[in-house]
């Protein structure tokens, strides 16, 4: 069935440290994996994505890696800043839909 597991559910880091969030998916046909950032009371915003023909993608301080064999992908945030504090959701495609993980609440302490 369609399922995306995400962990940890909460993550606290010191400013300047790195943060890693991991997701696993169940459908081997999934071929697109976005990450969203949602600040309190706002809409989720797409911050980075990766397709199944790529193993890694980087955009400034954020990067995503994909292991198709193991069916897992990860979000890496380096040099974290207080403004990175938010809830992060991973997702994977299933036919015409995105299946979302349950979210990770990241807190960056100054």
Which residues form the interface with other proteins (CB under 8 A)?
32, 34, 36, 42-46, 49, 89, 93, 96-103
- Residue 66: other Cβ atoms inside 10 A: 20
In the complex, minimum distance from the CB of residue 55 to other proteins, in angstroms, rounded to a whole number: 18
Helix (H) or strand (E) holding 87: strand 86-94
Q: Which lies closer to other proteins via its Cβ, residue 36 or residue 73?
A: 36
Q: Which is nearer to other proteins, 33 or 108 (CB)?
A: 33
Q: Which two tokens stand for residue 70?
A: 């193991």
Cα–Cα distance, 22 to 40 (Å, whole number):
21
Kindly state the smallest distance separating residue 100's Cβ from other proteins, in Å: 5
C-beta of residue 88 within 8 angstroms of C-beta of residue 22: no
Shortest reach from residue 96's CB to other proteins, in Å: 6
């Amino acid at each position: 069935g369609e399922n995306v597991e995400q962990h940890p559910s909460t993550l606290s880091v010191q400013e300047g440290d790195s943060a890693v969030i991991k997701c696993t998916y169940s459908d081997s046909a999934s071929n697109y994996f976005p990450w969203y950032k949602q600040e309190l009371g706002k809409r989720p915003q797409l911050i980075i994505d990766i397709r199944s023909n790529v193993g890694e993608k980087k955009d400034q301080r954020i990067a995503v890696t994909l292991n198709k064999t193991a069916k897992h992908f990860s979000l890496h945030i380096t040099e974290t800043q207080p403004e990175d504090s938010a809830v992060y959701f991973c997702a994977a495609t299933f036919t015409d839909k995105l299946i979302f993980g349950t979210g990770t609440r990241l807190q960056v302490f100054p």
